[in-house]
Amino acid sequence: MLREITLGQYYPVDSVIHRLDPRTKLFGTLVFILSLFFANNLWGYLLATIVLAAVIRMTRVPFSFMVKGLKAILFLLLISVSFNLFLTRGEVLVQFWIFKISREGLTMAGFMAVRLIYLVLGSTIMTLTTTPNALTDGLEKSLGALNKVGVPVHEISMMMSIALRFIPILVEETDKIMKAQMARGADFESGNLMQKAKAMIPLLVPLFISAFRRATDLAMAMEARCYRGGRGRTKMKPLHYEARDRVAYLLLLFYFAGVIGLRFLP
């Protein structure tokens, strides 16, 4: 399960999406996420499905590799669907004991499941096709206007990029520690809730120690290279828009306008 988390990983392959400017991918991810909340009927989600499938195809990332990250949110998905399915009032379709499934609840649960899955896939596409350095530069350029009001944009972008990069590292570290503890006789599956919580202590303690050690090593490495934030910092590969980025922006605007227009269809 832990190794199936794909958020924060980078998949090195040459594709049209990989070659896009990171600012374009950040804007595209934001537009896609907003469109999922604006869509309120089947036609809007159908358009989002077509666009998402086309983008996944253009990334040249194996679909099985991208989808396996959804297993990590399965529990959250079940909770969200269950709450919308049983707690939404409307025309009752099925009733057993104190539970009622309404037509509106069924529709809301379906839309919520699709929305959550697409949110994860959309965010995963951005991290799979963008290196941590490019993501940091893209965030810094996109939020550059906030520098004028004293917001440390570079530091915030660096922290977000490092946090995303640490996700697969910590997942791999957790998997190693868990296997080592299981080899020593630790049991993480059996017992009640309290016993399972106590069994997690031998896993969490070395994980936190390892995380703090990695953070300390990273800070020392940055200081050894005279890192002083964004002041006077030059870039090996300065960001600049190309023709494909302008086309991508235009297509994103058409897509978002289409989702807004489909809101008025029955």
Residue 148 has pLDDT above 80, yes or no: no
Residue 51 neighbours by CB under 8 Å, 6+ apart: 32, 255
Q: What is the pLDDT of residues 161-213, one digit of tens each?
A: 777 777 777 877 888 888 888 887 777 777 676 777 777 788 888 888 888 88
pTM over 0.95: no
Distance CA 197, CA 115 (A): 31
95 sits in which H/E element: strand 92-96
Structure tokens at 49: 């499905």
Written as six digits, the tokens of 167 are 């996700």
**229 three-state secondary structure:** coil
Q: What per-residue confidence (pLDDT) applies to 3?
A: 53
- Per DSSP, the chain holds a count of helices (H) and strands (E) of 11, 2
What band does 230 get if pLDDT is binned at 50, 70 and 90? low
Q: Answer yes or no: is pLDDT of 4 > 60.
A: no
